[in-house]
Amino acid sequence: MSSSSDFQQDRHSFSGSPQKWTDFELPGDTLYYRFTSDMSNTEWGYKFTVTAGHLGRFQTGFEILKQMLSEERVVPHLPLAKIWEWQVGVACRQTGHQRLKAIHLLLKIVQCSAQRDCDLTLLKPLWQLFTHMENNLCHDAAKPGILLPLHRALAELFFVTENRVTELGSLQEYLLALNTEDHLHRCTAQ
C-alpha cells in the first residue's frame, strides 16, 4: 500500500498471517494497493479497512485549530481559555515537531486574544524550559551556534507574550507568576 501510484511514497508492505499487519496512516486522499499471491495457499486473500481522517490525531487537530485561529470571524466564538489550557499541556508533554506546533498555536492565541482570555501563568513550565536553554547557551558562549528550533519558538512566544501583557498592564504579575521564589531571591541578590 502506498500514497503514490508508483508505490514509492509512504509504502507499507505486508505478507503472512493477519497478526503481522499493523495500523498505519497515509497522507492525502488516495490509497494505492497491490495484492500479489505466491499461490502457496488456497485462502481468498486479505481484508483491510480504510478510514478517512482520524479524530484526535495530532496533525488533523493542529490543522483544524490553526485554520480556526486564522479566521477573524471565528475567533470570538472559540473557548480560547480552554484551548489555551489544552495547548499549554500539549506543549509541555510533547516533544519534537508536535511541541513546536503546539507552541505555534499558543503564539497564534496570544496574538488573536482580545482581552485576558488566557491564563498566561500556565506557561511556567515552558518558561523554565526556556530559561534552562538560555542558561546553557550562556555557558557555551565560547561556541557560537544556531539556536535550536524549540529555543527560537519559545523565544518568540515569550517575546510576543511579554509585549501582550505590557499592553494589558499586567507585566509585573506575569513575571512574578512565571518565576520561582528561589529565582526571584537570586535576582534580588544580584
What is the pLDDT at residue 109?
Answer: 93
Question: Nearest-CA neighbor of 109 among 174, 172, 157?
Answer: 157
Q: How far is CA 107 from CA 148, 162, 176, in A?
A: 18, 12, 21
What is the distance, to the nearest Å, from the Cα of residue 52 to the centroid of all Cα atoms in its chain?
22
Q: In a structure prediction context, what are the per-residue pLDDT tens digits for the chain, which is 190 residues long? A: 998 889 988 888 887 776 677 777 777 678 888 888 777 777 776 777 887 765 557 787 888 899 999 998 999 899 998 999 999 998 988 888 889 999 999 999 998 875 567 888 899 999 989 988 888 876 655 555 566 899 999 999 999 999 988 888 888 888 888 887 777 677 677 7
What is the pLDDT at residue 147?
Answer: 65
C-alpha 112/C-alpha 66 separation (Å) is 12
C-alpha 135/C-alpha 132 separation (Å) is 5
Question: Nearest-CA neighbor of 134 among 149, 155, 153?
Answer: 155
Within a 13 Å sphere around the CA of 163, how many CA atoms are in the beta-carbon half?
9
What is the pLDDT at residue 156?
Answer: 94
What is the pLDDT at residue 173?
Answer: 82
Residues shown for the chain? 190
Whole-structure pTM value = 0.64
